[in-house]
Structure 1
Amino acid sequence: MEKSVAIGSNDASSSSTTTATAIGSRFSTLNKSFKFAIRSLLTSCSKEEFVEAFSSFTNAEKDYLHRLFLQVITSLHEDLEEDFEAICLKTKVGTTLDAVEEIVEEQDLDLLFSNRSNIVDVAENLSAAKKNEIQTLMHMVQSGEEHNRRLRNQLQLLKEGSQVLSDASHAIEKIRSINLNYGANSSDEMHDDV
């Protein structure tokens, strides 16, 4: 935490300006950390890994599926960020962190502050808030992982469906070939009999 106000300074406006600019840094750090963690989690599959999972598909089909996958990931990323922000607003995380930061700064600036029992209370409250926050984030990550599992299952079903269609196409071609050969052979036999 940065202290730019000199002790003993009588300039109240510089003190309030410094405090106002410093407030919010903890929430900002929390928000950035969450966004970074979600982005890392959702972008952990490279295009090469994705394309490798669909080796029997054409390049056009692979590109289409990858674009679709990226659209789903982008949508999921936006939804998670919105949910996180909504939870933070509902639980007033930013306000709580700002209040804690302000209290800590005020106590750091007050040389005569000797009663540290309030810090213990603040620490306990902050600890409880952090535990709740961790549980919420873990639930969100689990939801994201479950969604990713569902996406992987859907992609696997698409891959298997494509393989079934490919196998069926080969079987139909083989049956046609046999029918054509049979038809050609039976017409030759009819001409031989006449």
Structure 2
Amino acid sequence: MDPAAPGRFDILQTSFKAASKCLLTACSREAVKRAFPSFTDAERERLYHMLTRVMKAMHATIEEEFDEVCQERQVAAALDKIDDFDEEQNLDVLPSEKTSIEEIEEKISRAKKDEIEHLAALLKKVEESNNAMKARLELLKKGEDSTASRDVLNKLTQLNSTYACEQ
């Protein structure tokens, strides 16, 4: 925020004074004449001056009371803190990006761990399949029940092909 720029409290004071001034503006001589047609010109003039003094006094009193309430409630300090916080939020872009980066890193790390676990499970299945095939091949080499061995070998080859496609 520009140091010369008005803060929230300055804006509040200016707005309040403008609003109270509009509400408590002394009425014109013509308005008094129209409002009190039965009065003499001298009476209307005295009434006009009295109304003007009352409006000025009310205006000053209301502004003083507004300032006292603001001081009692420490409105200026609170609004300055809000200005400071607002400025920090506008300038402090990095923490929100840092949080996003940390979240992205966590998601990527989790995805990598999941992929490693999946690949490890696939590798284990393939190793088991290979071990089973080796055992069946040993049986074939020894010549035990060649028909049953061929069936088992075909099934293992099919399983191996299925696992190889999954990778």
What TM-score do you get using the length of structure 2 for normalisation? 0.53
In structure 2, distance between residues paired with 1:44 and 1:80? 15
After the TM superposition, which parts of structure 1 deviate over 3 Å for at least 4 consecutive aligned residues?
none
Question: Which residue number in structure 2 is paired with residue 102 of structure 1?
Answer: 84
2:49 and 2:33 map into 1 onto residues whose CA distance is 11
Could you tell me how far 1:44 is from its partner in structure 2? Answer: 6.9
Identify which of 62, 71, 78 aligns with 1:89: 71
Residue of structure 1 equivalent to 2:7: 25
8 A contact 1:26–1:98 mirrored in 2:
yes
The answer on 1:65 being equivalent to 2:47 is: yes
Letter in 2 for 1:84: F
Is the 1:47–1:66 Cα contact (8 Å) retained in structure 2? Answer: yes
In the superposition, relative to structure 1, how do residues 81 and 42 fare at CA in structure 2: closer, same or farther (>3 Å)? same
Contact between 2:26 and 2:52, CA under 8 Å: does it hold in 1? no
Q: CA deviation at 1:114?
A: 2.0
Contact 1:51–1:62 under 8 Å retained in 2? yes
Report the CA distance between 1:101 and its aligned residue.
0.4
Contact map agreement 1:39 1:77 (CA 8 A) in 2? yes
- Alignment of 1:36 with 2:18, yes or no, is yes
CA contact (8 A) 2:33 2:44 kept: yes
Do the aligned residues in 2 keep the contact of 1:107 with 1:113 (CA within 8 Å)? Answer: no
Letter in 1 for 2:20: I
Gap runs ≥5 in structure 2: 98-167
Deviation at 1:92, TM superposition (A): 0.7
Structure-2 separation of matches of 1:94 and 1:113: 28
Letter in 1 for 2:82: V
1:53, distance to aligned residue in structure 2 (A) = 1.6
Q: Is 99-108 or 74-83 further displaced after alignment? A: 99-108
Number of residue pairs matched by the alignment: 97
Identify the structure with bigger relative contact order (alpha carbons < 8 Å, sequence gap 6+): 1
Letter in 1 for 2:9: F
Identity over aligned pairs, percent: 39
* Larger-Rg structure: 2
Conservation of the 8 A alpha-carbon contact between 2:70 and 2:76:
yes
Q: Distance in 1 between matches of 2:54 and 2:26?
A: 14
Q: Do the aligned residues in 1 keep the contact of 2:9 with 2:75 (CA within 8 Å)?
A: yes
**Structure 1 residue ranges without an equivalent (≥5):** 4-17, 116-194
CA contact (8 A) 2:24 2:59 kept: yes
Matched letter for residue 81 of structure 1: E
Instruction: String of CA shifts for 1:122-174, please: whole Å, max 9, x gaps.
Output: xxxxxxxxxxxxxxxxxxxxxxxxxxxxxxxxxxxxxxxxxxxxxxxxxxxxx
SS in 2 for 1:83: helix
